[in-house]
Structure 1
Amino acid sequence: MNPTATTEGARDSAGPARAEDLAAALLTQEARRDPYPFYARMRREDPVHRSAQGIWYLTRYSDVEAALGDLRLSNDRDRMTRAYTALGGDLKALSRLTDRLGRVMSNTDPPDHARLRKLANRAFTARRVESLRDRVQGIVDGLIDEAVAAGPTMDLVEAVASPLPMAVVCELFGIPDEDLPQVKTWFRRFGRLSEDIDASEAAIEQYEEYLARLVRRRRADPGDDLISALVATQAKDDRLTDSELLSTCFVLITAGDETTTHLVGNGMLALLRHPAQLARLRADPALARPAVEELARYDTPTQAIVRVVAEDLTIGGRTLREGELAYLFLAATNRDPERFHDPDRLDLTRPGNRPLSFGNGPHFCLGGPLAKLQAEVAVGTLVRRLPHLRLTDEAALDWRPNPLQRRLTALPVIY
């Protein structure tokens, strides 16, 4: 039986016994395998929940949608650091890394955020994203060709979902193919931040130096790539400093990597667990675009995002105080029965589908359209080219222990 296909009414026994245990329960092995029963209980019993550590957990669609657009909930780096420090966290090492990145869109509030976002939007256009479709298709076909040549089984995450976004972002930013192995190495070191912060910081320093060289080259010899577009934008608006330009490049290149990987991985797992929906997509390839929206709703890669309260506000009858942290659980909102009919059912033709998978408001994910394009092409092509694709071992599936991200460690399949 599919562990994520039960109804909310049948889930009462799956969650913790007391409301005060709800936040802690999200760190358990059971929640790691399937967090959605815990989200369901939290929505019913305490949708604006304050954990024992004093962190707020928001799980209703209406609350989170409003919170994402409320400037009293801040994404400012300095406020965030103070809030974590107040909870007893030692952020000295992590602060070294955030200081290196400067003040970029992802850790600023208006008016700085609006200025940086506007500048990036000029370069990161919908037309530019769509122009990559043929190139994305070629990359996906090449990855599938390699996997098929290697044998009848593969780890779909390692073979397709993981290398795809790296190859696409290098294309978008004009990173030469010969530099791709080194860029991948730096990205792997970023991913081990919690294990070896010194190695991560060294990788960031080397990566920044590499990006600075690319920027200098594009100033001297512009091309049809995103770094050239950002350099041209800076030339027209001198408010974009060299440091902001480098930080913007860093964030735009880095941010979509894992989100795209796990959108493809989680999405393919959902389809393989729902053969009727898989057959529906195979019979109608035009469903690929709405299918990605539904797959992102059903098993959301970014489970939650964090904000810090900049000014006292009331949500759901609870008062959040200045300096407190709030976790906005996008994945919980995407299964809210007040917003989605029969939310635990995968439905590739779901009407009026508007999940919060990529956020909302001023910090709506800039790379969301590119992630969706890659997932649309990857999922559609895998379904079309591998008609006998199936899981090899459901019991072996595991997810990384990060309650803010829904990330399969591997997806073993046979085709």
Structure 2
Amino acid sequence: MSTPTIAEVMATPEFHQNPYPLYARLRDEQPLYRSPHGVSYVSRYADVDKALRDPRLSNDRDRITRAMAAQQGDNQLMTRLMKKLGRVMTNTDPPDHARLRKLVNKAFSAGRTRDFRPQIQAITDRLLDAAEAAGRRMDLITALAYPLTSSVICALVGVPGDGQARVLTWLRQLENPVDAGLTIEGTEQVVDDLHGYLYDLIHRRRAEPTDDVLSALVNVEEGGDRLGDDEIVSACFVLIGSGYETTMNLIANSVLMLLRHAEQLQLLREKPELLLPAIEEVLRYESPSLQVIRVVAEPLEIAGCALEEGTMLSLLLGAANHDPLRFPDAERFDITRADTRHVSFGSGIHFCLGAPLARLEAAVAVGTLLRRFPDLRLDAEPVAWRPNPSLRGLSRLSVHC
């Protein structure tokens, strides 16, 4: 019987429940593992961090599509969807990336995120009021993490309340078209419906600007350069799609880690000033993003191995964040850890634009939850992790308040 490949192991329930033993084996035995299917996995912190910053590794949509077709066979759905989704800063290389990032960053600024804190707090309070009224037990995902993060990013971008449910339904269908029962044509129709809705919003904001990111994207200008409508739609798609998923996971993962480590939770209750360091330690210890894809654009060497142009790389963020060569006692969850310079938000030019918002939402949600419910505890173990090798998130987190 043949030994299962890394990709096959990553599809098992055991991996979804605990990916870190596999990551440790890769770091120790094959820091660059060449899969029979053509993907090479990078697991050590030094290599992952360097790769994230290396301009010879591409995040370009067309390169990734070609590499996937060459190594995994032509995927009609992926190819057609990538073209429909357009070119945004998350799937471009310089110089296009620099132009798009500069314009989008002016609209989706850290200052705008900070100004949104009162609304984040108000939404959190409303959701916890409802959860408390419904009883002393709740699923943290459906009661707090998902409605908070989805409401916040939709409101921040500028999706009106009566359209948020539709937009989020479309996005969740696109996360996994097969599970949603969509054909290739059906999936393309969902993209068309979402794009049509966003184009309509652009025209409305152009006629009547409001104080939201969409209006800012419509009007942002740098040296006479502006975003086209297609670029605005693609930017909104990425901001909304990525703006709730990882933050939802961060909130739930934070609560789970604190409830599993009673001494750390008690320390945080005694020293509330450790809340932000605690969030950073969760980002390191139980990263919401486990891997990102890059393609070799120019021959280079990683972990002592020569890589040819066109090679597809999986940079294992979750493995890098547990590397004992970078983080002493890496398997210990410690909210007082002095150095938590993780790679959960990436590094280099593709560092996550939404990182300030994710950190803010997690701090507000977790801080408020702990203040309001001093007897908060887990309802059941083991918890169920979602079967996704790229994201680390719970399907449910039942707690007693």
- TM-score of Structure 1 vs Structure 2, range by shorter chain: over 0.9
Q: Which residue number corresponds to residue 142 of structure 2?
A: 158
**Residue in structure 2 matched with residue 201 of structure 1 by the alignment:** 188
* 1:54-133 equivalences in 2 (<5 Å): 54-133=38-117
Q: Cα–Cα, structure 1 residues 388 and 144, in superposed 2: closer, same or farther, change >3 Å?
A: same
User: Would you say 1:347 and 2:334 are equivalent positions?
Assistant: yes
| 2:13 alignment counterpart | 29
For residues 82-127 of structure 1, give each alpha carbon's deviation from its aligned partner in whole angstroms, at most 9, with x where no partner exists: 1111123332112222111111111111100111001111111111
Q: Post-superposition shift, 1:44?
A: 0.8
Measure, in 2, the Cα distance between the counterparts of 1:301 and 1:217. 35
Q: CA deviation at 1:183?
A: 2.3
Q: Is the 8 A contact 1:83 1:308 kept in 2?
A: yes
Q: Deviations over 1:171-214 (max 9, x none)?
A: 21222222222223222322332332444332221121111111
1:359 to 346, 349, 352: 346
Name the structure 2 match of 1:6.
none
Confirm whether residue 414 of structure 1 aligns to residue 364 of structure 2. Answer: no
Q: Is the 8 A contact 2:289 2:391 kept in 1?
A: yes
Q: Of residues 376, 385, 389 in structure 2, which corresponds to 1:403?
A: 389
Hey, what does 1:281 align to over in structure 2?
A: 268
| Inter-CA distance 236–149: structure 2 relative to 1 (3 Å threshold) | farther
Per the TM alignment, residue 234 of structure 1 is displaced from its structure 2 partner at its CA by 4.6
Aligned residues: 397
1:138-191 deviations in Å (ceiling 9; x for gaps): 111111111111112111111111111111012212222222222232223223
The within-5 A match list for 1:304-319 is 304-319=291-306
CA distance in 2 between counterparts of 1:246 and 1:21 reads 38
**What residue is the counterpart of 2:161 in the other structure?**
177
- The answer on 1:227 being equivalent to 2:211 is no
Deviation at 1:21, TM superposition (A): 5.0
1:75–1:308 contact (8 Å) kept in structure 2: yes
Question: Where do 1:208-219 residues align within 5 Å?
Answer: 208-219=195-206
Distance 2:32 2:18 in 1: 21
Q: Deviations over 1:229-253 (max 9, x none)?
A: 1111159634522211221122112
Aligned equivalents of 1:22, 1:207: Cα separation in 2: 35
Residues 1:136 and 2:123 are matched in the alignment: no
Query: Which one of 379, 384, 399 corresponds to residue 392 of structure 1?
Result: 379
SS, match of residue 403 in structure 1: coil
The equivalences for 1:370-389 within 5 A come to: 370-389=357-376
Q: Distance in 2 between matches of 1:173 and 1:22?
A: 38
Letter in 2 for 1:27: A
Amino acid at match of 2:11: L
Q: Distance in 1 between matches of 2:118 and 2:370?
A: 18
Q: Normalising by the residue count of structure 1, what TM-score does the alignment of the two structures yield? A: 0.92
Structure 1 residue ranges (4+ consecutive) displaced by more than 4 angstroms after TM superposition: 20-23
Which SS does the other structure have where 1:375 is aligned? helix
User: In structure 1, the residue corresponding to 2:72 is in which secondary structure?
Assistant: coil
Gaps in structure 1 of 5+ consecutive residues? 1-16
Residue type of the alignment partner of 1:353: T
Inter-partner Cα distance in structure 1 for 2:281 and 2:354: 18
Distance in 1 (CA, whole Å) between partners of 2:110 and 2:330 is 30
Alpha-carbon distance in 2 for matches of 1:350, 1:200: 44
Cα 1:219/1:235, change in 2 over 3 Å: farther
SS in 2 for 1:56: strand
The alignment's C-alpha RMSD in Å is 1.7
CA distance in 1, matches of 2:388, 2:147: 21
Alignment partner of 1:333 out of 320, 344, 354: 320
Amino acid in the other structure paired with 1:174:
G
Q: Is the 8 A contact 1:281 1:383 kept in 2?
A: no
Pairwise CA distance, 1:389: 1.3
Structure 2: 5+ residue stretches without partners: none
8 Å contact kept, 2:292–2:390: yes
CA contact 1:189–1:199 (8 Å) conserved in 2: no
